[in-house]
Structure formats: structure tokens, C-alpha cells
């Protein structure tokens, strides 16, 4: 292998390795923006395959074996084909970013990219049967034909120019890192194509592809990092909202009033209520640190603490029944407690007598975990829901 071949091969192998790592990384984080991730994965795959094809061309260049004959021709065709395809799928990715950042501007310019890609593919296919762009000599060495060797590069240049013009028009909608990535991703190959027309022996086009892929990947990761920060912020705000909902002042004040009354009239019961209330507060505070679902048993402990406090307050007016036959599952924090609280406040206490029973049942049917919260309180007029349903249906 000559020095020139070695330089080409090294650049392409390192480019292929990076593209593969980026491909795996984006695939692992594809869930936060599935449409965009799919398009970027296609771009990275094209870059990876392009590097592999080009490296195979340089490895077997000058090898006159039958295997080398087919590898060089197939890999060379693949490198041109993937270079044009890379620009078309990049247009899909840019179009998706603009659509996402503008909340709905759908760009039809990407069809132009696909037309240019198909034109370039037809030109390459014609070259297979009647060489006018490139050919190979008897030593299996690539030869650029003087008159039309620039046609594939012209197609890629035009694709990049069209994408660049659209990216510049809508650049204000992109994130700062995306602006740098889009412009550099499109400008670098264009500059490299111009240089390669005069310095064919130097792999400037492949270097530009590698650098552009790195910048595009870094832009995606920066966007993903920002998404994680915003998601964590939303989770924290939602968790705080849930805690504030659970720690409503009226419940705290009513419980403190109950404890004050018991301290004066039943000190032993006051101590029990304080224990139940502290357990409830501790459980509620601990849930502020949770980012996932919790076990049903843990949720049930919070419910029981809440019920014990309410039963001390309302005494015989409130009773509960537990029919728990299934506990091996997880639930969102406060999912059951909120329903129990609604049953107590709106099902029982809003009734004329203010008396009733809350029944909590769990069971497993096949693969489903069923939780049922029932009360025998005042209920509500179901015809109201039917009227709302009909009204919604008419609209």
C-alpha cells in the first residue's frame, strides 16, 4: 500500500469508526425525537457506508484479482451513490428541524433534493455501460475521464447549495448549535468538492464529510442534553405540584386543629395522630425525590396514614375496608391516594349524612393489575356526564 493509499485508508477508517459510534449513540437516544432521530440515523449510516466503500476502493486499487475487480467497481459506485444520497437525507433532517422549531412549517424543497439524487443515480448507471465519468484500466486503477468527471460532484454541490439556501432562510428558527452545524455541514463539502477538482490525490472531500458528520452529531447531542435538562425541570415542577396538591393547607390545618383538641381532651390519641401525621409528611416529602413509579405497597402506606388521620377526625362517620390480593406492581406517586381523597371528600363528606365507607380492592386478572376505589356516599347524577358526552359529540 502506497503512502497515498495509506492516508486515504486511515482517514476513511477513522471516519467510519466515528460514524458508527455516532450511529449507535443516536440509536440509543432516539426516543426523545423519533422522527428526527430516524432521519439523522439515515444520514450517519450513509456517512458510515460511504467511508467503508471508499476505503475498500483504496485497499483493492491496483489489485487485478477477480474479487478485487468486482469490489473496486461496486465500492466506487457506492461511494458516489452514497455521497448524493447523504445530501438528500440531510435535507430530510433539516426539513424536520425547521418543522419542529417553527411548529408546523413544512418545506417542499426536499423534493428538489430527491430529484437531483435520482438524476445523479441515472448518470452513474449510464456510466456503468458507457463510461464517460470514470473508468478503470487493466491494472484495476480508477481513472477520471476528462470531459464529464465532474458530473457526480456537481450533483452533490447542487444538493448542498439548495439545502444551504433553505437553511439560511430559516436559520433564525434553529438553535444556536444547530445553526453552526447546518451551515458547516453543507459548506464544508462544497468547499472540498471545489478543491478536489484540482487536488484529486488529497482526500479533502472525505475529510470534509467526517468533520461535517462530527459537527452534526455534536449538535444533536447538545439538543438532547437541553431536552434532558428541560425534561428534568418539568418533572421537578410536576412533582412539586403534586406535593403541593397533597399538602393542601386545609388538610394540614384541620389535622393540627384535631391534634390541638386531642392534646386537651385525649393526650394518648394526640400522640397517635402526631405519629400518623409525621409518617404522612415523611412519605410525602420522600416522594419529592422520586422520578419513577413506586411500589403499590408504598403507596398503600401513604393511603393508610391519610385514612387513619381522617378516621380520627370523623370517628365513626368514616370507615374503610381493604381487600388487597395483589401488591406486586408499581403505580405513579399519589395515584391511589388522590382517588381515596376524592372518595372521602366528595363521595362521603359532601353527602347529607356525611357518613360512609371507602373500599379499596386490588386483584390481578391475567396480566392486568386492577385497583378499585369505591364508596357508598352521595354519588352524583350520571345524566350530567351523558349530556356532556352528547354535547361534545355534536361539536
Q: List pLDDT tens digits, range 61-108.
A: 778 888 888 898 898 899 889 888 988 888 888 888 888 888 777 777
CA–CA separation, 364 and 329 (whole Å): 10
Indicate if the alpha-carbon torsion angle 32, 34, 37, 41 is positive or negative.
positive
Instruction: Give 257's contacts (C-beta < 8 A, 6+ positions apart).
Output: none
Say how far apart CA 7 and CA 207 lie, in whole Å: 11
Q: What is the pLDDT of residues 21-61, one digit of tens each?
A: 888 888 888 777 888 888 888 988 988 888 888 888 878 87
Ranking 228-232, 239-243, 270-274, 329-333 by mean pLDDT, the lowest is 239-243
Separation of first and last alpha carbons in the chain: 74
Residue 239: predicted pLDDT: 67
More confident residue, 322 or 242: 322
**What pLDDT does 203 receive?**
60
Residue 372 is predicted with a pLDDT of 92
Q: What's the rounded Cα separation, in Å, for the pair 295 and 341?
A: 19
* Rounded percentage of the chain residues whose pLDDT exceeds 90: 9
Q: Which of 45-59, 136-150, 374-388 has the lowest mean pLDDT?
A: 374-388
Q: Tell me if 72 sits within 8 A of 139, measured CB to CB.
A: no
Is the pLDDT assigned to residue 395 strictly greater than 50? Answer: no
| DSSP type of residue 106 | -
Domains and CATH numbers, the chain: 3-233 (1.20.1070), 247-385 (3.30.565)
CA 9 – CA 158 distance, rounded (Å)? 27
Average pLDDT over residues 255-269: 86
Helix (H, G, I), strand (E, B) or coil at 109: coil
Q: CA–CA separation, 128 vs 326, rounded Å? A: 69
C-alpha grid cell, residue 72: 473496486
Q: Please write the tens of the pLDDT for every residue from 198-242.
A: 766 656 676 777 777 788 888 888 888 888 888 878 877 776 676
Q: Check: CB of residue 343 under 8 Å from CB of residue 358.
A: yes
Decide: 13 and 49 in contact? Cβ < 8 Å: no
Place of cell 466503500: 53
Identify the weakest region by mean pLDDT among 41-45, 113-117, 216-220, 299-303. 216-220
CA distance 71 to 77: 10
Cβ–Cβ < 8 Å for 214, 18: yes
Number of residues that make up the chain: 395
To the nearest 5 percent, what fractions of the chain are helix, strand and coil?
75, 10, 20
Residue 230's contacts (CB-CB under 8 Å, 6 or more residues apart) are: none
Residue of 66 and 4 predicted with greater confidence: 66
Amino acid at each position: 500500500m502506497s503512502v497515498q493509499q495509506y492516508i486515504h485508508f486511515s482517514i476513511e477508517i477513522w471516519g467510519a469508526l466515528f460514524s458508527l459510534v455516532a450511529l449507535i449513540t443516536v440509536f440509543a437516544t432516539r426516543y426523545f425525537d423519533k422522527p428526527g432521530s430516524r432521519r439523522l440515523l439515515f444520514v450517519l449510516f450513509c456517512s458510515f457506508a460511504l467511508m467503508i466503500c471508499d476505503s475498500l476502493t483504496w485497499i483493492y486499487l491496483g489489485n487485478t484479482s477477480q474479487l478485487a475487480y468486482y469490489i473496486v467497481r461496486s465500492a466506487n459506485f457506492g461511494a458516489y451513490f452514497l455521497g448524493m444520497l447523504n445530501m438528500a437525507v440531510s435535507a430530510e433532517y433539516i426539513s424536520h428541524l425547521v418543522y419542529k422549531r417553527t411548529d408546523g412549517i413544512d418545506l417542499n424543497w426536499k423534493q428538489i433534493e430527491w430529484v437531483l439524487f435520482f438524476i445523479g443515480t441515472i448518470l452513474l448507471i449510464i456510466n456503468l455501460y458507457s463510461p464517460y465519468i470514470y473508468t478503470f484500466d487493466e491494472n484495476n486503477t480508477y481513472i477520471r475521464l476528462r470531459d464529464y468527471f465532474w458530473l457526480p460532484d456537481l450533483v452533490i454541490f447542487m444538493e448542498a447549495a439548495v439545502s444551504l439556501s433553505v437553511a439560511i432562510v430559516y436559520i433564525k428558527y434553529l438553535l444556536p448549535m444547530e445553526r453552526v452545524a447546518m451551515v458547516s455541514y453543507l459548506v464544508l463539502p462544497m468547499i472540498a468538492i471545489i478543491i478536489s477538482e484540482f487536488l484529486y490525490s488529497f482526500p479533502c472531500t472525505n475529510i470534509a464529510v467526517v468533520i461535517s458528520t462530527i459537527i452534526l452529531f455534536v449538535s444533536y447531542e447538545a439538543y438532547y442534553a437541553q431536552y434532558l435538562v428541560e425534561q428534568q425541570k418539568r418533572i421537578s415542577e410536576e412533582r412539586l405540584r403534586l406535593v403541593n396538591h397533597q399538602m393542601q393547607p386545609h388538610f394540614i390545618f384541620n389535622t393540627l386543629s384535631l391534634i390541638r383538641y386531642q392534646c386537651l381532651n385525649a393526650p394518648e390519641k394526640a400522640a397517635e395522630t402526631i405519629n400518623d401525621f409525621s409518617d404522612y409528611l415523611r412519605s410525602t416529602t420522600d416522594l419529592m425525590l422520586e422520578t419513577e413509579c413506586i411500589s403499590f405497597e408504598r403507596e398503600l402506606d401513604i393511603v393508610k396514614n391519610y385514612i387513619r388521620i381522617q378516621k380520627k377526625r370523623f370517628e365513626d362517620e368514616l370507615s374503610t375496608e381493604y381487600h388487597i390480593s395483589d401488591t406486586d406492581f408499581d403505580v405513579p406517586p399519589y395515584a391511589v391516594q388522590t382517588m381515596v381523597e376524592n372518595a372521602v371528600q366528595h363521595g362521603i363528606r359532601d353527602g347529607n349524612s356525611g357518613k360512609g365507607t371507602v373500599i379499596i380492592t386490588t386483584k390481578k386478572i391475567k396480566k392486568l393489575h386492577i385497583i378499585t376505589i369505591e364508596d357508598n356516599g352521595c354519588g352524583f347524577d350520571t345524566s350530567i356526564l351523558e349530556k356532556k358526552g352528547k354535547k361534545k359529540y355534536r361539536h
